[in-house]
Structure 1
Amino acid sequence: MNDRPRSWVLTLTCDDRPGIVAAVSGLLAERGGFILDSQQYADLDSGRFFMRVEFKAATDGFPGDTAALREAMAPVAEQFAFDWQLNDTADKPRILLAVSKGSHCLNDLLHRWKSGGLPVEIMGVVSNHPTLRRLTEWHGVPFHELPTEGGKPAQEEAILDHFERTRSSYLILARYMQILSPELSHMLSGRCINIHHSFLPSFKGAKPYHRAHERGVKLIGATAHFVTDDLDEGPIIEQAVERVDHRASIDDLIRMGRDIEAQVLARAVGWVAERRVILNGRRTVVFR
């Protein structure tokens, strides 16, 4: 049993000005709320302010449901023109996974989810190949093979249909080796996350480990980012690197890279699920 008291997460961004933190914390205090964690960031370049607050009820008079809390927060949100979200931490985001033939990222996400280490609801897996059906269904997750032979528009329409029917919040490209069309990328703006097997912006596109080996790199890495219609240029959520030397073969780089990819994607999905990531133009603010 989970004995943790019910809590909520408020995330917001707005034009920076004095009084925002005081207004939010003051409202929670007046209503009988107790702040568990609060982080804020002022972007001096853009003049934008970002905040994440997790809180719970401290008194019996605290509004007990999310709708009542939103109503209580509305006047402050309107005063400061917040772009904001308020979520019960028990409401886990629904995600749809897209894969091709590589299993390492899918296997890692499914294991973390099944063992309770990833606060999401996995609604299904879509793939342009049948290769990972057994792995997916072994974890009790629906698998949908959507081959591209019928044309990319029809296949992407089927992906979008699964996404909408399952009421998913995010499409996670867990080594999905297809480039999304600009139309689908635009429709899923801010709701689609990709793992790229390179430390962007280096070695974009196909076979980055081969090109990295040709250049004799001393660091390899992986990047999780939001998908845009500009290939591998979306806002970055997380990155990691590992040192290599002249003895590393292409196979060595690929093997090491797979481990990094799985870890980086899992962290990115976890942070998004915990409402720790806020878009900031072409960048992100990540409250860890």
Structure 2
Amino acid sequence: MTASDDSVENITLTLSCPNTIGIVHAVTGFLVSHKCNIMSSQQFDDEMTDRFFLRIQARCEKPISLPALQAAFKATAEAYDMDYTLVDTKRPMNVLLMVSKFDHCLNDLLYRLRMGQLNINVPAIVSNWSDLKPIADAAGIPYIHIPVTKDTKAEAEAELQKVIDENNVELVVLARYMQVLSNEMTQKLEGKAINIHHSFLPGFKGAKPYHQAYDRGVKLVGATAHYVTADLDEGPIIEQQVFRVDHTHQPEDLVAAGRDAESQALSRAVRWHSENRVMLNGHRTVVFQG
């Protein structure tokens, strides 16, 4: 067999299905039959839902096209009623970043991208304000300004959808994008949009959450990265980050700690999703960390 333009050397297979006997045997047998050497394997059996989750990374010892491998796996997937993805491990995921005026999460993601810590491609940055355009310009990424008002929300989301479609976007990251997406938009992006919430959910909602926390004398501040759903800030949680604080911390100290928590939680959530480590499990998630 000779290598082709669509041949793959390393693959990542993630799946979930009803738990039963023989799943691992069937999957590993399939990989062996196609000369794929398993490099790592993680699994989880959810006894509460009787559902099985598996993530495998493998190296193809002989050139094979990814479409051919995906087509061949369908029979195994159908036999066990699997929800699955089978992808080229090395291919970057197309990720659209959305921002408003806060820049800490955007700066952190772009830094990690530049340092090679994120296997993603950012075709564009979308914002309802023009403030952060210099950051996008410095990174060489197109900055698309889509203003949003109550009266223009439908038109703005139609323009956003066009950006998503034209750039083959696989994940939308709301990196402190301060607009609520419509129910229709969140349904289209189900499992493919991550938001960062400025609290360790459940937490203080509404205006000035860190000042509310200060007034209540909290000992922990944090942030929560979760998938976007129609229920505001109630989506399946991917990652959370907390910092311990005490009586000496002023509101501005809590703001600074909160921004660090937001950046760290969001970057980990983006990395894990882009590496196909996160799987939905009802309203919860299974996260196979590296």
TM-score range, shorter chain: over 0.9
Residue number in structure 2 paired with 1:100: 100
* Match in the other structure for 2:3: none
2:43 is the alignment partner of 1:6 = no
Shift of 1:33: 1.4
User: 1:26-81 CA distances to partner (integer Å, 9 max, x unpaired)?
Assistant: 221222211011011111111111111100123x3xx6111111122122111101
Contact 1:204 1:232 in 2 (8 A): no
Amino acid at match of 1:141: I
Deviation at 1:240, TM superposition (A): 1.0
1:157 Cα deviation (Å)? 1.6
Aligned to 1:54: 57
The separation in 2 between residues aligned to 1:207 and 1:180, in whole angstroms, is 21
Match of 2:124, SS? strand
1:185 is displaced (CA, Å) by 1.0
Contiguous gaps of at least 5 residues in structure 2: 1-7
Partner of 1:22: 25
The residue aligned with 2:125 is 125
User: Does the 8 A contact of 2:11 with 2:60 survive in 1?
Assistant: no
Equivalence map 1:1-288=2 (5 Å): 6-58=9-61, 60=62, 64-149=64-149, 151-288=152-289
Residue type of the alignment partner of 1:27: F
- Give the Å deviation of 1:206: 3.5
Task: Report the TM-score, using the length of structure 1 for normalisation.
Answer: 0.95
Superposed CA offset, 1:110-129 (max 9, x none): 11112211100001111111
Higher mean displacement: 256-265 or 153-162: 153-162
Conserved 8 A contact 2:171-2:192: yes
* Amino acid across the alignment from 2:262: E
Which runs of 5 or more structure 1 residues have no equivalent in the other structure?
A: none
Task: Report the Cα distance in structure 2 between the residues aligned to 1:9 and 1:206, rounded to whole angstroms.
Answer: 42
Task: Please give the per-residue CA displacement for 1:179-217, whole angstroms capped at 9, x wherever unaligned.
Answer: 111111111111110001110111234322121111111
Deviant stretches of 4+, over 3 Å: none
Report the residue type matching 2:172 in the other structure: L
Amino acid at match of 2:123: M
Residue 136 of structure 1: how far off its partner (Å) = 0.8
- Identity of aligned pairs, percent? 47
Shift of 1:94: 0.4
Equivalenced residue count is 281
TM-score by length of 2: 0.94
Cα root mean square deviation, aligned = 1.3
1-side partners of 2:206 and 2:23: how far apart?
Answer: 42
Q: Contact 1:224–1:268 (CA<8 Å) still a contact in 2?
A: yes
Q: Tell me how far apart the structure 1 counterparts of residues 185 and 78 of structure 2 sit (CA, whole Å).
A: 32
Pairwise CA distance, 1:259: 0.9
Displacement of 1:229: 0.6
